[in-house]
Structure 1
Amino acid sequence: MQTNEPMGKKIWILIVVLLGIFCTMFFSAKDRVSIPLTNRTVITLLAPFQSFSSALGNKSGSIINALNELMSMYQENKQLKAEVTTLREENLHDNELEAENQRLKGLLNYKESTKQFDLVTASVIARDSATWINNVVINRGSNDGIKKDMPVVTPDGLVGAVIDVYGSYSVVALITDPRVAVGALVQRSDSRVAGIVKGDIDKQVDIHMENISRAADIQPGDQIITSGLGGIYPKGIFIGTVDEVGNEAGGLLKYAAIKPAVDFQKLEDVAIIVNSRELSPEVLTRQMQKAADGGSRETGTAK
């Protein structure tokens, strides 16, 4: 019995192999050869194999189709993500160009409305890491005709003055720097109180106006402009608006906390006044009246 068992297994393996070959030949030729009715027994015997082969073929086809669909969806999703990224970048670029155009348009309008100034436009390219709220670096220097002590402005108002000049860039001290002093006065025609605007060393406010007489007529809401005294800043440049008025220690003088016209944390583009001319009293009066009516907020024009 033990000697015949391996032989029996070989016989069954041979039968299965021959049956597989026969099935393959049969299904390959069934579309070309008509099967007599006498072979119905064979067909009946082979039907399970045919059903299994057909089901296996259908299942394989379904799996392949599913895989193709998955690959197609993956490629489509990848393409859509790339398109979304491109559109987002283009949108950001367009928004940045729009913002830049608005800033440059503002500078151009300011240049056209201040005929008494010769202006050179510039962009802020850096801030002093130690005193970033007091100094900025602009991309114009001696190669562009920039010199020390030239005033720097925006359409909103006074920024500061150039303190160091190099070939292709300059350093600008902002009016928030306590070391910077600007001669100023109240624009209101029935006041005209004069004083000095400086940065607050204690940083309780950005800037304040000091050296004001205790009896001086200065009130919250008053607009402060440059007085033209001191030889650096031309007269009539908008500085800011009085927020509150308080008494200095000692009681002889008072000060005014001022909200600057310029938002220094958003400073990107500026104009350097390389030359200025005196205006006639009539023109200066008209500009001041325009500012009193609210024009200074839109144009930053010398009042």
Structure 2
Amino acid sequence: MPQFFLNKRLILLLVSIIVLVALIGFSLKDREGLTWPEQFVKDTTGWVQSIIHTPARSISQFFSNVNDIKNTYEENKILKSKLDEYVKLETELQDLKDDYKILQEILDKTESLRDYEPIQASIIARNPDRWQELITINKGGQHGVKADMAVITAKGLIGKVKYTSQFTSTIQLLSAPDRMNRISAFVQGDGSKVFGLIEGYDEQKEALLLKRIPFDAKVEIKQQVLTSGLGEVFPEGLLVGEVIEVVPDDYGLTKTAYIKPAADFYQIDHVIVVERTMISKEEEEEES
């Protein structure tokens, strides 16, 4: 019996090998079509794959879109920060250009003030409620600033020193409504000077008032107005502005000229405090 089973197993193994070889040979043989079992298996497999592939593809595409949106958000965030930084740098660059232009004008103006002692200063405070009246600069008594000194910008006269401390000073603008805020000035004509006093400021016309001009004096539009130096406070020859209108006063005895300031009272960043130098008789004789 044991020998019989051994022979049976050997026979079964040989038959299996023969069938396997036959199937391999059959599968390697060139055929024009598939058998129905092969077609059934392929169709079933394809149907199952199509059912699984479509949702899997949709889910994969969904997560891919979410990832793209996330990346786009991060890129937009980075670009926005760079754009904000660019705008900030552009603003700072423009401010530096404006400051350079103003400082260059002040430097040119300082070099032209040969008869005066210029003290350069910057604005450090300005009260919004008194915007047209007072400003504070970063120079004081320790820098040689004294009360009643003239204060100018690169464009022209803006006011005078009202108060001083050791390291700061308060400047009263020409546009301040102060009755004591008077300046002796003259209108520069063709070889002649027409004198008057700057008293007051017209806010509607944004113009200084040059009063007490002789009624018969010839004053024309666009003529320049400069400090006369007769008040013993302001040096002579500082530009105030130009004439834009001339009207008679209430009694018809004198005239008043409206003067457009050469300097911008509204926007002031840097100024020059002008110290008037008194020339002695000995120096005048030496110069002559």
TM-score bracket for the superposition, by shorter chain length = 0.7 to 0.9
Bigger shift: 120-129 or 202-211? Answer: 202-211
Per-residue CA shift, 1:204-236, capped at 9, x if unaligned?
A: 553111112211222222211111011110011
Partner of 1:181: 182
Instruction: Answer yes or no: is the 8 Å Cα contact 2:146–2:164 preserved in 1.
Output: yes
Q: 1:210, 1:157 → 2: CA distance?
A: 20
Structure 1 gaps, min length 5: 1-33, 282-303
For 1:262, the aligned partner's letter is: A
Note the aligned Cα RMSD (angstroms): 2.5
Equivalent-residue separation in structure 1 for 2:205 and 2:84 (angstroms): 44
What is the rounded CA distance, in whole Å, between the counterparts of 2:254 and 2:144 in structure 1?
Answer: 41
* Distance in 2, Cα, partners of 1:123 & 1:80: 37
Cα distance in 2 for partners of 1:201, 1:154 equals 21
* Equivalent residue, structure 1, for 2:119: 120
In structure 2, the residue matched to 1:224 is 225
Aligned to 1:265, what secondary structure does the other structure show?
coil
For 1:227 and 1:136, locate their aligned partners in 2 and report how far apart those are by CA, in whole Å. Answer: 24
The answer to whether the 8 A contact 1:191-1:218 is kept is no
Q: Percent identity?
A: 29
Aligned length: 246
- State the distance in 1 between where 2:177 and 2:191 align: 29
CA distance in 1, matches of 2:278, 2:159: 19
Q: 1:78 to 1:128 in 2, by over 3 A?
A: closer
Amino acid at match of 1:126: A
Structure 1 partner of 2:96:
97
| SS state at 2:129 partner | coil
Residues 60, 203 of structure 1: alpha-carbon distance in 2 compared, 3 angstrom cutoff: closer
2:192 aligned residue: 191
Which runs of 5 or more structure 2 residues have no equivalent in the other structure? 1-26, 28-34
Q: TM-score, normalised by structure 2?
A: 0.77
How far did 1:152 drift? 0.3
Alignment partner, residue 242 of structure 1: 243
Give the alignment of 1:32-51 within 5 angstroms: 41=40, 44-45=43-44, 47-51=46-50
Distance of 2:146 and 2:88 partners within structure 1 = 39
With over 3 angstroms needed to count, the CA separation of the structure-2 counterparts of 1:92 and 1:202, relative to structure 1, is closer
Distance 1:143 1:215 in 2: 47
TM-score, structure 1 length as denominator? 0.74
- 1:109 aligns with 108
Q: Is the 8 A contact 1:178 1:201 kept in 2?
A: no
Structure with max Cα Rg: 2
Structure 1 CA distance for aligned equivalents of residues 160 and 215 of structure 2: 30
Letter in 1 for 2:112: S
